[in-house]
């Protein structure tokens, strides 16, 4: 199905199933422990062997020698894989460094060996006996020190020069010129990267924790130098990914090599330190923001320059992306610069680009409002735009940002806020409230599905779409139920298998809108086939309550399959609507914090997000996504930071004891409001993604609330108490 004109009225608009707050259909499996994750497919394999990854002990250099003699003699050892015996390996498109080092080492904890043994404990013990001698080379591990050698990326991230920024900024009545920093951060998902592999002649099956099954097949095939059609990936349940599992990592490749060399099923789960250093992370940023405005608060010049680092051939953190689109201003300057660092790979994490970019931009907007003496909400509303500021001919398909801010301010009690910092006390707590704007694009990707109707009237959907805990199973089932006129209980959904049609996968806030549109396309085709079999005109037939109805005729849906199952396959292919319209999602984030006047401890007390994100397919699961993202925002604002050892080039706090994330006690009541919105330009579902929107802007709202509580303006994340203590008001 081609989608190249805005959607008109269609069966989804009935909203009998779609748009309703259904429980997750996979919830009972998750809560009873019967949802098998990548490492747990006991029903599919017997007598597995276990692999343990040895990570490089240096950040840059080469392996001078590896002595495996003692490790090979250790109890239970079956095989030790290194670059010397792994065979000729390729390199995937998406990963920057090789997934198995040798002889060169590109970053700390890059995999250098896999020890395969009968038990996990034996593999771990033998791994400690692998003796490696390195030749260390000098590396670059400090973004601040490398900032001045950063260059313009070779592809993507074009500079923007609109009007005459320098002249307009110099002439502005009120100016801001500040620098903000965000740290390196880890995805910190509960389930580590894990895979299990088995060979059948020249074909390999890999159960793996991966967000993008179709991408994964191609990457694994390239890595193993084999045809993609001989790679079978299975990933039905994923225990969190957040971008860290978009691409195949060392666990999948090494499990496959270990299985081929031993002739056994091999299971590999990365130990937690390797999740931080061996896989990907969010790179640190330095961001300079300049804003010039007239006395009435209208922005005349806005500039955003950002620096980040990565391995050679890596990409930057696109922290200036939202500044290109969020606020009006005739004179604009955007710069993205990339430094070469020898730290582990930087890549997609939890709303890459906008999440760290808004952490800076939305503090800057708050600071600018303060300098102008304008309420922060009104300042943002004053500078709203309904067109792309770099291309005014291109309008937003839907943009209800002002309504998000108006509703949020009213619901949160913004009018009671004192603009004077430090004006409100609650016992030993200084109390403040802050806000920010959330913004995230709404991309779509080609997605396909098979839909089958059986003689019992049950519809089964199969697509390689994944569920990373976001509710894909449920919204896909809702789509099929709505299209075929069935209750949710009469729909079965199978996901995460590369033998199914390729879907968008989970990432980039494209998954929900794209995958459901693919199911819509397949169901539309199935409706035509069912109507033909039952003798209906498909243009007149309605599918309601398990029946096909037209005029006075009413036939059970199941009758179409009485002679055998009816199955079809189709996919949604998107035209140029995303080029003709700017398709984005918006939010207003509001936060109240308390800051202990003696210790500078920060406690978040209330949170509200008002979101405009197209049709909400399932308000219950969408709310869960948003409050989860808001929780991530608390972590990014107050605690999450990978500490870099700038001498030896690794992340020191590479476990969940040293890398702090929010726990239940850190999170207060969270409220989410979804505006009533449909966007017919995005898909037949008229929906957009929403999960990452819930994160974008939260960190700055917390920072702005801290300033309102204390008068201390912090521009460096995370906002830990040591950064506050010296500047707090004197305790009475």
Q: Which positions are annotated as active-site residues? A: 692
**Which two three-digit tokens encode residue 227?**
């045809």
The region, left, alpha or beta by phi > 0 then psi within -120 to 50, assigned to residue 225 is left
DSSP state of 282: B
CB neighbour list of residue 121: distance below 8 Å, 6 or more residues apart: none
CB of 506 within 8 A of CB of 467? Answer: yes
DSSP state of 193: P
**Which two three-digit tokens encode residue 94?**
């998406």
Distance between CA 639 and CA 635 in Å, rounded?
Answer: 5
Q: At what angle do helices 472-484 and 511-534 cross, to 10 degrees?
A: 30
**Which two three-digit tokens encode residue 443?**
């991309």
CB of 98 within 8 A of CB of 249? Answer: no
Strand order in the sheet with 299-310: 160-162, 331-340, 299-310, 285-293, 174-182
Distance between CA 559 and CA 413 in Å, rounded?
Answer: 57
Question: How far is the CA of 450 from the CAs of 144, 390, 485, in angstroms?
Answer: 51, 41, 17
Of residues 434, 490, 447, 459, the one with CA closest to residue 682: 447
What are the phi and psi torsion angles at 582 (to 5°)?
A: -85, 115
Q: What is the dihedral of CA 613, 618, 623, 624, to 10 degrees?
A: -130
Distance between CA 444 and CA 463 in Å, rounded?
Answer: 16
Distance between CA 499 and CA 261 in Å, rounded?
Answer: 25
Cα 431 → chain centroid:
32
Token look-up 């593999």 returns 123
């Amino acid at each position: 199905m081609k989608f190249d004109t805005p959607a008109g009225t269609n069966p989804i608009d009935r909203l009998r199933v779609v748009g309703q707050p259904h429980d997750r259909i996979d919830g009972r499996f998750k809560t009873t422990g019967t949802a098998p994750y990548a490492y747990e497919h006991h029903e599919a394999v017997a007598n597995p062997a276990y692999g343990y990854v040895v990570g490089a002990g240096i950040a840059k250099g080469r392996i001078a020698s590896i002595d495996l003699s003692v490790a090979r003699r250790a109890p239970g050892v079956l095989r030790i894989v290194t670059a010397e015996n792994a065979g000729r390996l390729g390199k995937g498109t998406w990963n920057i460094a090789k997934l198995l080092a040798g002889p060169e080492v590109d970053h700390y904890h890059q995999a250098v060996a896999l020890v395969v043994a009968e038990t996990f404990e034996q593999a771990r013990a033998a791994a400690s006996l692998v003796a490696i001698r390195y030749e260390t080379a000098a590396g670059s591990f400090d973004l601040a020190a490398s900032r001045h050698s950063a260059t313009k990326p070779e592809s993507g991230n074009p500079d923007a020069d609109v009007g005459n920024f320098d002249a307009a900024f110099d002439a502005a009545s009120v100016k801001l010129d500040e620098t903000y920093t965000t740290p390196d951060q880890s995805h910190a998902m509960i389930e580590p990267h894990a895979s299990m592999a088995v060979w059948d002649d020249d074909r390999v099956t890999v159960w793996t924790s991966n967000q993008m099954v179709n991408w994964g097949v191609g990457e694994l095939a390239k890595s193993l130098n084999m045809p993609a059609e001989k790679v079978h990936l299975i990933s039905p349940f994923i225990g969190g990914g957040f971008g860290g599992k978009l691409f195949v990592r060392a666990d999948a490749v090494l499990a496959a090599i270990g299985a081929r060399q031993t002739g056994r099923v091999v299971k590999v789960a990365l130990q937690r330190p390797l999740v931080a250093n061996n896989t990907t992370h969010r790179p640190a940023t330095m961001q300079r923001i300049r804003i010039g405005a007239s006395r009435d608060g209208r922005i005349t010049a806005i500039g955003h320059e950002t620096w980040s680092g990565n391995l050679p051939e890596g990409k930057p953190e696109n922290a200036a992306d939202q500044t290109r689109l969020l606020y009006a201003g005739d004179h604009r300057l955007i710069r993205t610069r990339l430094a070469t660092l020898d730290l582990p790979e930087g890549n997609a994490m939890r709303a890459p680009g906008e999440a760290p970019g808004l952490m800076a931009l939305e503090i800057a907007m708050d600071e600018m409002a303060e300098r102008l003496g304008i309420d922060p909400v009104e300042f943002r509303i004053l500078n709203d735009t309904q067109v792309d500021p770099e291309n005014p001919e291109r309008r937003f398909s839907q943009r209800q940002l002002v309504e998000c801010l108006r509703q949020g301010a009213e619901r949160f009690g913004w009018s009671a806020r004192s603009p004077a910092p430090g004006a409100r006390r609650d016992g030993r707590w200084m109390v403040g409230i802050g806000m920010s704007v959330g913004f995230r694009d709404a991309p779509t990707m080609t997605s396909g599905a098979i839909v089958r109707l059986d003689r019992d009237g049950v519809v089964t959907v199969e697509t390689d779409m994944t569920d990373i805990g976001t509710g894909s199973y449920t919204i896909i089932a809702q789509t099929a139920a709505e299209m075929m006129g069935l209750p949710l209980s009469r729909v079965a959904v199978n996901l995460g298998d590369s033998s199914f049609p390729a879907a968008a996968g989970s990432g980039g806030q494209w998954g929900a809108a794209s995958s459901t549109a693919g199911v819509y396309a397949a169901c539309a085709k199935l409706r035509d086939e069912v109507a033909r079999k039952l003798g209906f005109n498909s243009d007149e037939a309605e599918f309601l309550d398990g029946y096909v109805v037209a005029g006075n005729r009413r036939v059970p849906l199941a009758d179409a399959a009485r002679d055998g199952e009816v199955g079809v396959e189709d996919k949604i292919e998107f035209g140029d609507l995303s080029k003709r319209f700017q398709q984005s999602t918006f939010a207003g984030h509001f936060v109240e914090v308390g800051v202990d006047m003696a210790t500078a401890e920060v406690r978040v007390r209330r949170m509200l997000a008002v979101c405009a994100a197209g049709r909400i397919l399932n308000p219950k699961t969408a709310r869960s996504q948003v409050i989860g993202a808001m929780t991530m925002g608390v972590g990014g604002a107050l605690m999450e930071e990978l500490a870099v050892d700038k001498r030896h080039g690794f992340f020191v706090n590479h476990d969940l004891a040293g890398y702090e994330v929010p726990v239940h006690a850190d999170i207060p009541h969270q409220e989410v409001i979804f505006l009533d919105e449909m966007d017919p330009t995005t898909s037949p579902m008229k929906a957009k993604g929403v999960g990452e929107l819930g994160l974008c802007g939260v960190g700055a709202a917390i920072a702005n609330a801290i300033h309102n509580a204390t008068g201390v303006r912090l521009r460096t994340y995370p906002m830990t108490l040591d950064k506050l203590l010296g500047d707090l008001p004197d305790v009475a």
